[in-house]
Amino acid sequence: MIAENHPVRVVSRVIDTIDIKAIHRKYKGGGTSAYHPRLLLKILVYGYLTNTYSSRKLEEQVRQNIHFMWLTGLVSPDHHTINRFRGEKLAGILKEIFSQIVMMLVEEGLVTLKEAVFVDGTKMESAANRYTFVWGKSVQKQKERIAEQVGELWKFALEVTAEEMKDQAEVTFEPVTREKIEQVVDQIDKALEGKDVPKAIRQKLNNAKKTWPEQLDRYDEQERILAGRSSYSKTDPDATFMRMKDDHLGTGQLRPAYNLQISTQDQFVLNYSLHQNPGDTTTMKSHLAQFAEMYNTLPAEVVADAGYGSSENYAYLEEVNVDGYVKYNDFDREQKKSKKAPAIFSAEQFEFDQDDQAATCPAGLSMELVKTEKVKTKMDFERTVLHFQGTGCADCPLSGQCLMKRSPRIVEIDPDLRRRRQKASSLLRSEKGIRYRKKRGVDVEATFGNIKQNHGFRRFRLRTIAKAEVEIGLLALAQNFRKWTA
């Protein structure tokens, strides 16, 4: 007899009550299965809950394991059916199901969407082959090499056909596109027609006509896939090569991976998102936007580490009225400042008056505003940076701690960032902030530890971001069911 609160019963009960319209919509879009979607969903969720991630193993379990047999009523789909359902039918819709189950947790009083969530990220290796990479820099270099060679050919053509080409307009080889290069090569070819051209140059020209257009098409396609990323994997073009934390051999090897972000509360996962860039800073906005889309609300408070403490993130949290218990780079050092002060005064050690927009240096002297600069971040967020210059540096007794190479000292201050950091600092140092800082490690970080160490999921099994997202959704559901039935 299976106990009422046994995970297999809870999974079955919950999946029987959720709305699966989204899956039915997908089935109508093509492809049918003899098995009911609820049945396949139960197998997958219970499979991920019991660390069974492979579709072949799941097929085995539904035939041999008593809990799976109870769950399916002795119906046993094969691994193709399970795999197709997971990779094709659940892609793009699992979040809808996930959010319904989180709403049940809310109704049960186990979590709330109104209070604090803990946000963090980890790199999860993709299913891609580790050695099939395309590097953005290398694509750029190849294009530059072609531009350089076409430049040499152009120069040669100018030398031998000085008279005919003297009226040619100035030629640029940028941007290095197929059309541009073909047009220039064609001009060179026509100019050299009938001329006595060395064999090596003729060969280069023939090679240019034959191989460059195709090569340039390939580089264009690679740049389109890169979409501003530094790399991608040929066997999972959505994955980016990232440095992994669990590189125990310390080889520094980059692996194809996704940046997984989750929001937790008491180790229940409330939101998950996959990102293609390794840095956490740029993920917060889209991660929280997905939260808002799922639940029509945002948590009142967000707790995160210094990886998220950027100008842009603070501004976003302010805009959406969320209290950010988000550390910034210097926060931990500030807390220990009595123990170890930096060798040279950092910009934070220069006082700034928000009302007067005036800076005072550690020697207590007013500084002179010498420049106001507008700076855009990678994500196109505009910041205003003020440059202040010291006014008494020449004979200052603190110059040893203040001046590096340049005298007088110049400091750059972003007034909005200062103000937002001060707000974050007072939140983090409040009683609640101290509690949250302690809890972050045992909430979101422990959830990653649980998934990776205790349940052995360190690498996706499916390729492409849409399918990897299904896997992370199933893992998040498994984590929530585990907590629910603990």
Return residues touching ligand SF4 (CB under 6 A).
361-363, 365, 390, 392-393, 396, 398-399, 402-403, 408-409
7 versus 390: smaller Cβ distance to ligand SF4: 390
Question: Based on CB atoms, which residue is closest to ligand SF4, 202 or 406?
Answer: 406
Report the residue closest to ligand SF4, judged by CB.
Answer: 390
Comparison of 73 and 397: residue with beta carbon closer to ligand SF4 = 397
Give the span between the Cα atoms of 186 and 413, in whole angstroms: 54
Report, in Å, the least distance between residue 169 CB and ligand SF4: 54
* Shortest distance (Å) from residue 408 CB to ligand SF4: 6
Which of these, 90, 42, 14, 123, lies nearest to 469 by C-alpha position? 90
Considering the complex, state which of residue 202 and residue 371 has its C-beta at the smaller distance from ligand SF4: 371
Residues 6+ apart with CB under 8 A from 295: 99, 102, 103, 113
The smaller minimum CB distance to ligand SF4, of residues 110 and 365, is found at 365
CB of 406 to ligand SF4, least distance (A): 10
CA 55 – CA 85 distance, rounded (Å): 10
Whole-number Å distance between alpha carbons of 224 and 222: 5
Give 300's contacts (C-beta < 8 A, 6+ positions apart): 114, 115, 116, 322, 323
Instruction: Verify cis geometry, omega within 30 degrees of 0, for the bond prior to 362.
Output: no
d(CA 103, CA 58): 28
- Coil, strand or helix at 279: coil
Give the closest residue to 463 by CA, choosing from 27, 70, 29, 132.
132
**401/450 with CB nearer ligand SF4:** 401
Compute the least distance from the CB of residue 415 to ligand SF4, in Å.
18
CA distance 427 to 109: 26
CA 3/CA 13 separation, integer angstroms: 13
Side-chain half-sphere of 451: how many Cα atoms within 13 Å? 31
Shortest Cβ 478–ligand SF4 spacing (Å)? 56
SS3 at position 54? coil
CB atoms within 10 A of CB 444: 26
Least CB distance to ligand SF4 at residue 328 (A):
23
Residue with Cβ nearer ligand SF4 (269 or 402): 402
Min dist CB 350 to ligand SF4, Å, is 8
Query: Of 213 and 392, which has the nearer Cβ to ligand SF4?
Result: 392
**Shortest Å distance, C-beta 418 to ligand SF4:** 17
Asked if the bond preceding 237 is cis, omega within 30° of 0, the reply is: no
